[in-house]
Amino acid sequence: MRSHNASVLANLAWSRSEGISRAELARDSGLSASTVSAIVSDLMAANLLTSGHVAPSKGGRPPVILQFNTQRNYIVGVEMGASHIGAVICDLRGDIRWYDETEIDVSDDPAGTLRAIGELIEVARRRPEASGDLLGLGIAVPSPVDALTPDRLSPRLLPAWAEVRLAAQLHHRIGVRVFMDNDANCGALAEAQIGAGVDVPDFTYIKVATGVGAGHIVQRQPYRGFSGIAGEIGHTTVDPNGRPCRCGLRGCLEAEIGSGAIVEKASEAIAAGRVSALAELPSLTLADIVAAGHDGDTLAIELIAEAGNHLAVGVANLLNLMNPARVIIGGRLAAAGDLLLGPLRHIVGVRALWTSVERADVVISPLGDSQIAAGAATLVLRAALADLSHFWASETSAPQVAGPVARIWKAGGQGGA
């Protein structure tokens, strides 16, 4: 019981970045003053709470304001993209202190990727921003993470990774708790913590990059479905006769608007004789197409608008099914900004039911390249706030593979903000 109460008080202190007094802790938790006082002493002895300034007296002894010690530990979050890995150092507020990334063929080179992740983590551990001990490692993967087969990436989407136990290997190498989740879920968690989802309890984040995926936040908690794979919007059908998809189906949203598809469509148009600044480039990337669009290139603008139209079908279906307050678009295509949003909002307005559109915003994520990795770091933070024993023993002896398994999220209730 005492550890549950300690968790309640630590979460209250964490949620008040301006600090909180013992009297406020007692009032907000419903615990007695003596219980609060005893637990606060424990938490201060563990350096999880520190005493800050003294607030002005409202009659009687002026209260000491307690602060959650966000510098007690640091967290490393790692994003695995299709062709790069990125790592952040976050403090215990979830704020990003450092970010770096490196290009690598993640999809086809598991051994090289694991080596590169290990090296990036070693760099992070030596950084001055890494204050205190490493609390844990969060990793965002470009694959659904099925709670029924944790620590396995989808063999259908990433066949080279079929035999790799990623979290277990990283735990073995680094010796701290490792949490793994799908990249779009991590993106949604980052939006809830520091991005465009801070002020809404229900929203959906859609990552549009090489892959396309969605993460749902429902009542400030991630919604993962029965086995943890909710949100695979990239493999919903937008055109039954459309382009073949790497999942084996045809006309999936990802097959129409993933980076590879947009680049392919650009190359096809150029080969067919379309005049475009893109024809001058030796090799094409999505970033080139987005940049050309911003420079007014007609072909690039058309390709982005077409992607917006396809995405709109997915978003309209999502609005009608889930009724989120906001849809946040992230990933590399989000850099197209209004070139994407204009057509997207128009078609969504035509297709979704009047009420679900009327009240829903569709916006571009305000967070940059480090977002997914920062979201991975919040997996560690949320688990530790739900179970304070993570702070007392960040080094576990047995591998702890903790992904989107429901039990990790049940105990917390610390609210997503």
- Closest residue by Cα to residue 375 from 97, 90, 165, 130: 90
Q: Which residue pairs, CB below 8 angstroms and at least 24 apart, start in 240-247?
A: 246/157, 247/156, 247/157
Least CB distance to Zn ion at residue 233 (A): 10
Least CB distance to Zn ion at residue 317 (A): 15
Question: Which CB atom, from 147 or from 249, has the smaller least distance to Zn ion?
Answer: 249
Contact (CB, 8 A) for 387 and 177: no
Question: Which CB atom, from 62 or from 248, has the smaller least distance to Zn ion?
Answer: 248
Question: Which CB atom, from 52 or from 242, has the smaller least distance to Zn ion?
Answer: 242
Strand arrangement, sheet containing 401-402: 96-103, 84-90, 73-80, 133-141, 178-182, 401-402
Least CB distance to Zn ion at residue 245 (A): 3
Question: Which CB atom, from 16 or from 250, has the smaller least distance to Zn ion?
Answer: 250
Question: Which CB atom, from 233 or from 377, has the smaller least distance to Zn ion?
Answer: 233
Question: Which CB atom, from 216 or from 235, has the smaller least distance to Zn ion?
Answer: 235
Residues making up the chain, counted from first to last:
417
Q: Report CA torsion sign: 192, 198, 203, 205.
A: negative
Least CB distance to Zn ion at residue 270 (A): 26
Question: Which CB atom, from 245 or from 335, has the smaller least distance to Zn ion?
Answer: 245
By DSSP bridging, strand 133-141 and strand 73-80 are: parallel
Tokens of 321: 């099914």
Contact (CB, 8 A) for 124 and 138: no
Question: Which CB atom, from 318 or from 339, has the smaller least distance to Zn ion?
Answer: 318
- 250/238 Cα distance (integer angstroms): 9
Least CB distance to Zn ion at residue 235 (A): 4
Least CB distance to Zn ion at residue 212 (A): 9
Give 3-state DSSP helix, strand, coil % of the chain, rounded to 5.
Answer: 45, 20, 35
- 378/387 Cα distance (integer angstroms): 14
Using CB under 5 A, list all residues that contact Zn ion.
235, 245, 247, 249, 252
Least CB distance to Zn ion at residue 177 (A): 33
Tokens of 148: 């029924």
Tokens of 193: 């913590």
Question: Which CB atom, from 245 or from 290, has the smaller least distance to Zn ion?
Answer: 245
Least CB distance to Zn ion at residue 248 (A): 7
Instruction: Report helix, strand or coil for 391.
Output: helix
Question: Which CB atom, from 192 or from 252, has the smaller least distance to Zn ion?
Answer: 252
User: What DSSP string describes 76-145?
Assistant: EEEEE-SSEEEEEEE-TT--EEEEEEEE--TTT-HHHHHHHHHHHHHHHHHSTT--SEEEEEEEEESS--
What are residue 386's phi and psi, to 5 degrees? -80, -25
Q: H helices within 258-394, ranges in order?
A: 259-271, 286-294, 298-322, 338-351, 354-358, 371-386, 389-392
